[in-house]
Structure 1
Amino acid sequence: MQTSPELLRLIHNIVRIGTVSEIDPGAPPPDYKPPRVRVATGDITTGWLHWRESRVGTTRTWNPPTPGEQVLVIAPGGILEGAIVMPGIYQKALPPPTPTHDLNVTMVELPDGATLVYDHERSHLEATLPGSATITAQGDIAVTTEAAMTLTAKGGLTIDGDTKIQGKLSIAGGAVTHNGTDIGDTHRHKGVMSGSSISKGPV
């Protein structure tokens, strides 16, 4: 039995490998326009196709493919016009991020160099940001550790709000001031007299 060239073409088009050539991020409602990509595969470049996102229900994610990313093009019935793009396939030009190739590590690397790494063998989480970070909560925030906690702020630390400290407080180095007045270990009092007199405020 002979197979027609058209049937062979459709079969070959069901699953193809290609690289993303263009991305259209679309537009939000009310003038909704779906995000789409074009893929170079073989000697052709597809039309605008939808890509598969992780979640698109009441839980939604947004993690678009990038130019040069190797993907699968799945075309039901072999019709490329209705194909779906499925990222992604590692390649030499875009290998796994460093320090992966470790089966104990789950990692996300972003274009600006930010990384989120979790080592489930060591139970260790590490986030590295080249810029700033903001956390906003309408309710309480609690940070609890069974070990020590170190906070390093080379540019200074500002607390805006009433502050309560439970437990011992030890201050080493620097000066302690209140409204510009030194109240640390180097402060002095004026109006000091021997006996039961009360000294004046700090100098």
Structure 2
Amino acid sequence: MLEHNFAIAELNRRLANIIRIGLVKEVDYEKARVRVKVGEFITDWLPWVTARAGEDRSWFSPDIDEQVMVLSPFGELSLGVVLAGIYQQKYTAPESKKEVSSLTFQDGTKLSYDKNKHHLEIFVADKITLKVGRS
């Protein structure tokens, strides 16, 4: 009976850990890993998911205190990957219109595209450099 209760408790633990929501507490930029606070627990170093990670690659590192989801195969947090980008009270959505896609940076630089108006707007907080070919 004790063994049966342990098996049920272990299954419940794993099920509860498949998807967890937490806050980024540390970032290792060189290894592209973060530690996430989930409740009172802080995970080991976990990789984060990015848009592209093959020959074409993207880089958007999570911020400290950014709300994220930890997706853990088999409910094992040590195997988890981090999916960034859950809006929260501290970091709210920068837009509220379906037709607008945007990217806003901490310094105020912003790229915004309105699909209905076919209008791309780029605001740069300081300066911009465009390079073409080997220039």
TM-score normalized by the length of structure 2: 0.91
1:82 aligns with 2:79: yes
TM-aligned CA deviation for residue 16 of structure 1: 0.5
TM-aligned CA deviation for residue 4 of structure 1: 2.5
Among 125, 128, 132, the alignment partner of 1:130 is: 125
Q: Which runs of 5+ in 2 are unaligned?
A: none
How many residue pairs match? The answer is 131
Show the counterpart of 2:41.
44
Among 28, 35, 41, the alignment partner of 1:24 is: 28
How far apart are the structure 1 equivalents of 2:113 and 2:124? 15
Task: Choose 1 or 2 for highest CA Rg.
Answer: 1
TM-aligned CA deviation for residue 5 of structure 1: 1.6
TM-aligned CA deviation for residue 134 of structure 1: 0.9
How far apart are the structure 1 equivalents of 2:89 and 2:116? 27
TM-aligned CA deviation for residue 116 of structure 1: 0.2
How far apart are the structure 1 equivalents of 2:132 and 2:118? 26
Work out the percentage of aligned pairs sharing the same amino acid: 37
Amino acid at match of 1:21: K
How far apart are the structure 1 equivalents of 2:9 and 2:115? 51
Root-mean-square deviation over aligned CA pairs: 1.7
1:55 aligns with 2:59: no
How far apart are the structure 1 equivalents of 2:71 and 2:96? 27
TM-aligned CA deviation for residue 68 of structure 1: 1.2
Amino acid at match of 1:43: E
Map 1:1-203 onto structure 2 (within 5 A).
4-26=8-30, 34-97=31-94, 100-138=95-133
Amino acid at match of 1:89: I
Q: Which runs of 5+ in 1 are unaligned?
A: 27-33, 140-203
SS of structure 2 residue aligned to 1:89: coil
Deviation per CA, 1:130-174: give whole Å up to 9, x if none: 1111111128xxxxxxxxxxxxxxxxxxxxxxxxxxxxxxxxxxx
TM-aligned CA deviation for residue 92 of structure 1: 1.3
How far apart are the structure 1 equivalents of 2:130 and 2:83? 32
Amino acid at match of 1:116: L
TM-aligned CA deviation for residue 82 of structure 1: 1.2
Structure number having the greater helix percentage: 2
How far apart are the structure 2 equivalents of 1:23 and 1:13? 21
Q: Which has the higher contact order (CA 8 A, sep 6+)?
A: 2
